[in-house]
Structure 1
Amino acid sequence: MDFYHSEDNNRLRHFVNWIVDIVVVIAFAWFLVYAYGTQIVVAGHSMLPLFASGDVVLMDRLSYDFGKPDRFDVIVFQREDQKMNVKRIVGLPGETVQIKNDEIYINGEKLEEPAGLGRISLAGLAEKPMKLGEEEYFLLGDNRDSSEDSRFSNIGNVSGSQIKGKIWLRMLPLVKLELIRSK
């Protein structure tokens, strides 16, 4: 009789251990999704060729809790009208940004940008030097001639509090699944 009783205890213990393992995995997955997995659907063509309209990307919400945004980071920010936009950081706090002759100048020096970004035919507000405040960032879309960004008064310079996170992964379409790195 003790043999069967012992076997039942082992089965119960095995079953409880299995349930605990499942709960731990679910809790860990929830943390990862909460911290690194906010889904954003890209709207419009302002980030071509990196993202097309309808692409689904994941935003890391914690990266800027422990660090500051960097030049060329692809980020999500919340506009004044509460819409979420995806853009690339070009100008950092305290810098002076100007666009002249289709080029970006930071503190009077030409910015060496990653290859593949669109040319800038419209300087907008950055036609004259723009001094960024202590917590302000200058953002541009990669498709410069089809982007509503910091060059225009309805967006302007973006405060650090408006930045919600950094894009780290394109999820959909699956054929374009890739990690997104700052250039």
Structure 2
Amino acid sequence: MPNQNVRFVDWLKALLIALIIVALVRQYLFANYIVNGESMMPTIEEGNRLIVNKIEVEIRSPERFDLIVFHANSEEDYIKRVIGLPGDTIKYENDQLYVNGKAVDEPYLDDFKTDLIDGQLTENFTLLDKTGRSTVPKDYYFVLGDNRRHSYDSRHIGFISKEEIVGIVNLRYWPIDRLQMNFY
């Protein structure tokens, strides 16, 4: 009987250690998110489940076109695509993105633009029009949802500070038939 008690205590210790490791990973390394809303359609849709890498933003700054999750307010996190990096000028004209005066392709929007039956996906604007600044400030980002007509993003809420960023989206794991790691 004492041998059985020792085994039980060993299993209990192993389970406790595993739970602590899972809690630490979730708190500091990765997070699971369920998408709520249509602002990133067709790339990410309502109900999709994502893994967000929290540590990656501590190691490197987000890059153009990364999908990030950030604290939009005290109750909500948003997922959006990084369009403008610190120091960039941004302009949209005739559904074409211009960064620092040069046309930049957005291949993740091609199918969406093809399916449009009326007008442009992204309205014409400059960074100055939307934010009152001509360039993205240091340690800030300009983000947009892929569903440009129905996205509450930097055009409305302004720049996103690096401190507000929770992490970079690494994986969509649900629905399983849309498993994806690269979003552009």
User: For the pair shown, which has the larger CA radius of gyration, 1 or 2?
Assistant: 1
Cα deviation, 1:140-159, whole Å, max 9, x if unaligned, reads: 11122222222x2x312222
Measured in 1, the distance between the counterparts of 2:135 and 2:183 equals: 24
Alignment of 1:135-154 (within 5 A): 135-150=139-154, 152=155, 154=156
Segment drifting more, 127-136 vs 70-79: 127-136
Tell me the matched-pair count: 173
Q: Does 1:160 align with 2:155?
A: no
One-letter amino acid of the counterpart of residue 144, structure 1? R
One-letter amino acid of the counterpart of residue 165, structure 1? G
Residue 79 of structure 1, CA deviation: 2.5
Measured in 2, the distance between the counterparts of 1:80 and 1:9 equals: 55
3-state DSSP class of the match of 2:167? strand
TM-score for the superposition, normalised by structure 2: 0.77
What is residue 15 of structure 1 aligned with on the other side? 8
What is residue 170 of structure 1 aligned with on the other side? 172
Task: Check the 8 A contact 1:35/1:60 in 2, yes or no.
Answer: no
Cα deviation, 1:123-170, whole Å, max 9, x if unaligned, reads: 3444869311111211111122222222x2x31222212222222233
Cα deviation, 1:1-46, whole Å, max 9, x if unaligned, reads: xxxxxxx554444333322222222222222222344343323211
Structure whose residues are more often helix by fraction: 2
Measured in 1, the distance between the counterparts of 2:149 and 2:28 equals: 33
3-state DSSP class of the match of 2:107? coil
Alignment of 1:9-158 (within 5 A): 10-80=3-73, 82-116=75-109, 118-119=112-113, 120-126=121-127, 130-150=134-154, 152=155, 154-158=156-160
Q: Does 1:181 align with 2:182?
A: yes
